[in-house]
Structure 1
Amino acid sequence: MSEDITGKLSANGAVGAADMKNRAAAIAMTLRKRLLAAAMLSVLLITTACATSDDEGSKKLNTPKALEVGRFASPNLGSVNTYWISGPDGLVLVDGLRTIPDAENALAQIRENETPVVSIVLTHAHPDHVGGLGVFHEAYPNAPMYAADTTIHTMATDAMGFYELARSLDGHVYPDHITVPENAIADGAPVKVAGLTLETKRFGPGETDSSTVFYHAPSGSLFTGDLINNKMTPALLEGHTCGWLADLNLLATAFPDAATIYPGHGKPGKAKTLIAEQRTYLVFVRKEIRAAIADSSPGGSEVTAE
């Protein structure tokens, strides 16, 4: 009996040891699996983090790049803007102001940058945007000037007599001779200036007979000249308000990604807002004039000075 019991105990002991060994092996296998899973999870998290970082980097690359733009607004009634754009190779001047003193004051401000103007571009030929060109040309004689061929023709001929009118109003502060650009921009052709590429598009008859806008696509910056005026009363001397409204529609369609408009008069602002406000103003003016020239109006269809 004693031998049987001992034998059974030995057998049971052998089975218990084997069971413990198997359990230890199972636990070790489980630990290895968990460690492997943890390692795989870590790799997955790192990969996801890298992918997120790359995605964010791509988004940053696709966001508009800031464009450094300086602005001088003449202090006189009917304040007009000139802008200078900082490019890799120097400054690009947009429009030339009205009078000689205005241009001299702007030049002093530009020279604070200690970066030369290497190119000049013009949006249109109105006297308040070209009168100061001679000052800038004298300061930067090697900077080529660009404008549409239609703008160059208007400046050279003064067919509408605007420059003579400006001289009669401004006297000696308006130049005796207009400095005319020598480089014509083909309709829709890009202009490469100061290491920047500016897209162009021609408009008119509208605010004027011919107007060119300049667009820097990477930053969404649109230089419109007087096609847009921000909270400034525009001149309607040429009487093409219908064409001007059509130009505004075309402007919005041609540059849907424009973020900031740099207008001929008034402060820069959000593109869609400034286009909408300019359109609203012109519609209002047309409505009021239509009522004023109606046969039923107090003065009849004739418009007379008060």
Structure 2
Amino acid sequence: MRAAPFTIGLLAMTLALAGCAGSETETTGGPEADAVADLEIHRPFRRGPGSVNSYWIEGPDEILVFDTQRSVALAERIVAAIEATGKPVAAIVISHYDPDHFGGLQAFIEAFPDAELLMAETVAEQIGRDLSGYVERLRETQGDAYRAPPEPARLIEHREELTVSDVPIVVHLLTDTEAETITMLAIPSERAILASDIVANRMHPDFADADIDSWPRALDRLTRDFSGFTLYPGHGEPGPVNLLAANQVAYLSFVRSQVEREILDDDVATEEEINAAIAAIRANYPGWESVTGRPAQLRRNLEAIVAQLGGELEAGQEDGADGADS
């Protein structure tokens, strides 16, 4: 993949995953205008708790993969769909240090050994050090055959330009949002941005590593910088940047308000208060699944916000039951 001059292309969004239950395909396109390459953004699609998006960007002669699912088994389905195209994978980009975004990397590396593995420096360091134990957890859940992610072939930087079939793709790095560092990929000619976990569309995001102060500000900047773009989120359906970013800000504000108004009036989060806040979140966002697939995710999210705001959990809660979040 090499730097290339700015060109205008045609975007066709394909939502497909061969052999995956619940898969669906939807294709949209804009008018052709001196196109030198058509790009397709493929989103393997699976409904339900724990659903996570991986994307592959297909040009006439090569493919770029963005994130690799939470397990080798799920990744192998995407690998099969890519192999069916007969095109080489030029690069694999890992967006951030969350296991559902790099857990299936092994399948891609084995299938496409010539692909260049790319990460931001912070992401590579986090995966290598694994202070949150995500790699170890993947090993426990996937068995002895699982191998930890290798070091990247190259580190990518903010505003670096990649290409797929000579169409420019620009790297954008965000810090202190849902994760310490999140990599996004913008395709200016297509007015599309692959934003990873800066947005979870109609799903409860994971606050384990989040910065609840900086995240909304980053979403506001995203709206200003990419107004009119289509946003492809880390979880959930693609949609307009302005709409998805505004919805995410509203969600963060609502959940934070539950902690500030209902839980931390005395700086101590009781079991009753946390259960009431979980019920309020579920009532305000009915039918939403969690991005992690874990039953206690909302409880853990609230506990994370309590800690960030300087509060404490009631004695004994650290190992308490899941309550209303079961």
The TM tier, using the shorter chain, reads: 0.7 to 0.9
Cα 1:95–1:126 shift into 2, 3 Å: same
**Which residue type is aligned with residue 273 of structure 1?**
L
* Structure 1: runs of 5+ lacking an equivalent: 1-58
Per the alignment, residue 274 of structure 1 pairs with 244
Counterpart among 74, 93, 98 of residue 121 in structure 1 = 93
Q: Partner residue of 1:245? A: 216
CA distance in 2 between partners of 1:276 and 1:90 (Å): 34
Q: Give the whole-Å Cα distance in 2 for the aligned partners of 1:157 and 1:66.
A: 39
Q: 1:60 to 1:106 in 2, by over 3 A?
A: closer
Corresponding position of 1:70: 42
Match of 2:55 in 1: 83
Contact 2:53/2:233 (CA < 8 Å) preserved in 1?
Answer: yes
Unaligned runs of 5+ in 2: 1-30, 274-310
Letter of the aligned partner of 1:87 in structure 2?
Answer: G
What secondary structure is seen at the aligned counterpart in 2 of 1:244? helix
Between the two proteins, the alignment pairs up a number of residues equal to 245
Aligned amino acid, residue 268 of structure 1: P
Counterpart in 1 of 2:17? none
Distance 1:284 1:97 in 2: 29
Distance 1:156 1:265 in 2: 24
| TM-score, scaled to structure 1 | 0.73
Q: Distance in 2 between matches of 1:67 and 1:153?
A: 31
2-side partners of 1:174 and 1:95: how far apart?
Answer: 20
State the identity as a percent. Answer: 29
Which deviates further from its counterpart, 156-165 or 226-235?
156-165
Q: Distance in 2 between matches of 1:275 and 1:298?
A: 29
Whether the 8 Å CA contact 1:214–1:224 is kept in 2: the answer is yes
| 1:153-212 deviation per Cα after TM superposition (whole angstroms, max 9, x unaligned) | 1111112222223444x2429834123322111222222344231112111111000011
How far is the alpha carbon of 1:133 from its aligned partner? 0.9
Partner of 2:133: 161
Q: How well do the aligned residues superpose, as a CA RMSD in angstroms?
A: 2.6
Establish whether residue 130 from structure 1 lines up as the match of residue 130 from structure 2: no
Residue 50 of structure 1 corresponds to: none
Task: Specify whether residues 194 and 132 from structure 1 end up closer, same or farther in structure 2 by C-alpha distance, changes over 3 A only.
Answer: farther
| Residue identity matched to 1:85 | I
CA distance in 1, matches of 2:249, 2:166: 34
For the structure 1 residues 163 and 296, does the alpha-carbon distance in structure 2 shift closer, same or farther, using more than 3 Å as the test?
closer
Instruction: Report the Cα offset of residue 266 of structure 1.
Output: 1.0
Q: Which residue of 1 aligns with 2:178?
A: 207
**What is the distance in 1 between the residues matched to 2:220 and 2:144?**
37
Q: What SS does structure 2 have at the residue aligned with 1:262?
A: strand
- TM normalised by structure 2 equals 0.68
Q: Paired residue for 2:166? A: 195
In the alignment, the residues of structure 1 paired with residue 159 and residue 32 of structure 2 have an alpha-carbon distance, to the nearest angstrom, of 29
Residue 12 of structure 2: aligned partner = none
* Structure-2 residue corresponding to 1:182: 153
Q: Among residues 244, 261, 282, which one is paired with 2:231 in the alignment? A: 261
| CA deviation map 1:43-89 (0-9, x unaligned) | xxxxxxxxxxxxxxxx96499x9741111135663111111111233
Q: Structure 2 vs 1, CA of residues 176 and 90 (structure 1 numbering), >3 Å: closer, same or farther? A: closer
Change beyond 3 A, Cα 1:164–1:196? same
Structure having greater relative contact order (Cα 8 Å, sep ≥ 6): 2
- The farther-off stretch of 66-75 and 201-210 is 66-75
Q: Contact 1:100–1:173 at 8 Å: present in 2 too?
A: no
* C-alpha contact 1:155 1:178 (8 A) present in aligned 2: yes
CA distance, structure 2, for counterparts of residue 277 and residue 229 of structure 1? 9
Query: In the alignment, residue 99 of structure 1 is paired with which amino acid?
Result: S
2:306 corresponds to: none
Structure 1 position 226 matched with structure 2 position 182: no
Distance 2:163 2:198 in 1: 23
Q: Relative to 1, partners in 2 of residues 1:157 and 1:256: Cα closer, same or farther, differing over 3 Å?
A: same
State how far apart, in whole Å, the 1-side matches of 2:266 and 2:151 are.
45
**Match of residue 207 from structure 2:** 236
Change (3 A) 1:228 1:173: farther
Structure 1 pair 225–173 and aligned structure 2 pair: CA distance change class (3 A): farther
